[in-house]
Amino acid sequence: MSQVPARSIAAKLLRWYAAGHRDLPWRATRDPYRIWVSEVMLQQTRAQAVIPYYQRFLERFPTAAALARAGEEEVLACWSGLGYYSRARNLHKAAGLVAGGFPGSYDAIRGLPGVGDYTAAAIASIAFGLPYAAVDGNVLRVIARLTNDAADIGSPATRLRFRGIAQRWLDPRQSGAFNQALMELGATVCLPRAPRCGNCPLSAVCEARGAGRVSQVPVKLRKIAPEKIAATLVIVKRRGRILFWQRPAGSGRMAGFWELPSPGQLPEVPSPRVTGVFRHTITHHHYQVTVWEADIRRPLRLLRWLAIEDLDSIALSTASKKALRLAGVAV
């Protein structure tokens, strides 16, 4: 394992970060609410994909108090398309706890619904300058390569050990900048495939590079084989309205969302017109969705007509949005 001095790593990394980095909107603020929103959105999601959602979300809910006052369906509608909807529900739930003032300690932040070790450390360091190392997937990869450690980064024990390493490297005087620099290095230089070692400020002290093992570190976790699924959604229009059904409460992560019906949810689909086909992926499930348009005389009672002009304010599933756009309905 590498014995590179922590002070050397921090100094090189901070100089590199100060010389230039991505201009991301959440880096222009120390407001803990806005940093919290960004960190929750960035979980499992690329920064460039988050930017429009982050900006739209803060326009609608500029403060924790505004978010707390909103209904869950309004929050989900604004989040729709970003996925992992438990994040939005936890954010909404926690907003009521911080509306009167955001907690200023790591432990209090860590106690908020949906906030884990990484998110708490990121908020504490960036918003309040507290000396906590924030270790996400990008940082785990950087640490594994710098120390030439081939341990399984999916293991809780490895993650705990790596967090200890990051904590030793952390410059407590610039903890927020250090955490962002380390995350930036993993996101833009120390990439999973084809890392840009020639652009890395730490290449001279990288143990994996010195050993010629960059491509073998970290250990690549076994992925679940993709499952291909064929599906069909039906668009039924009538007098400026479209037919939908709503997922019931307690039905999992998509509870409360509105969906276009499948043929099996309709009594009959006479002479359907094929509008198009699109692909949709949820984790390892790869859907090929065919979109029909049809005229239905007697829809089932479980289905409801929703006005097209109101769809922007309703929590629609991403698959339904994609199908509607194929049919020329702007959502």
Bridge partners for 289 per DSSP: 231, 278
Does 271 lie in the same domain as 164?
Answer: no
Does 235 lie in the same domain as 161?
Answer: no
* % pLDDT > 70, the chain: 97
Q: How many CB atoms lie within 10 A of CB 157?
A: 9
Q: How confident is the model at residue 223 (pLDDT cuts 50, 70, 90)?
A: low
Quick one: which H or E segment has residue 159? helix 156-169
Q: How confident is the model at residue 106 (pLDDT cuts 50, 70, 90)?
A: very high
* Range with the poorest average pLDDT among 66-80, 151-165, 183-197, 210-224: 210-224
**In this structure, what CATH number is given to the domain that contains residue 320?**
3.90.79.10
Predicted local confidence at residue 183, as pLDDT: 96
End-to-end CA gap in the chain: 52
Q: Residues 300-309: pLDDT tens digits? A: 778 999 999 9
Bridge partners for 238 per DSSP: 241
Predicted local confidence at residue 47, as pLDDT: 94
pLDDT of 134 above 70: yes
Predicted local confidence at residue 268, as pLDDT: 83
Q: How far apart are CA 229 and CA 225, in angstroms?
A: 13
pLDDT of 87 above 50: yes
Predicted local confidence at residue 299, as pLDDT: 65
Q: Is residue 169 part of a domain?
A: yes
Query: Domains in the chain: how many in total?
Result: 2
Q: How confident is the model at residue 281 (pLDDT cuts 50, 70, 90)?
A: confident
Does 204 lie in the same domain as 241?
Answer: no
Predicted local confidence at residue 4, as pLDDT: 59
- Give the residue from 216, 238, 261 where a domain finishes: 216
Does 69 lie in the same domain as 178?
Answer: yes
Q: How far apart are CA 254 and CA 73, in angstroms?
A: 11
Query: Mean pLDDT across the stretch 274-303?
Result: 87
Tokens, residue 50? 């988050």
47 in Cβ contact with 24 (< 8 Å) = yes
- Give residue for tokens 């509870």: 255
Predicted local confidence at residue 1, as pLDDT: 43
β pairing state of 258-259 and 241-246: antiparallel
Q: How confident is the model at residue 221 (pLDDT cuts 50, 70, 90)?
A: low
How high is the mean pLDDT of the chain?
A: 91
* Domain assignment of residue 150, given as a range: 6-216
- Residues annotated catalytic, as ranges: 39
Query: Mean pLDDT across the stretch 225-240?
Result: 92
State how far Cα 39 lies from the chain centre: 8
Tokens, residue 302? 């479980």
Q: How far apart are CA 13 and CA 134, in angstroms?
A: 15
Q: Vertex 285, ends 280 and 291: CA angle to 5°?
A: 35
pTM to 2 decimals?
0.82
Query: Mean pLDDT across the stretch 308-324?
Result: 92
Q: Is residue 293 part of a domain?
A: yes
State how far Cα 163 lies from the chain centre: 21
pLDDT of 324 above 80: yes
Q: Vertex 116, ends 7 and 167: CA angle to 5°?
A: 10
Q: Residues 29-45: pLDDT tens digits? A: 999 999 999 999 999 89
Quick one: which H or E segment has residue 69? helix 64-69
Q: Which residues contact 2 (CB under 8 A, 6 or more apart)?
A: 146, 147, 148, 205, 207
Does 101 lie in the same domain as 22?
Answer: yes
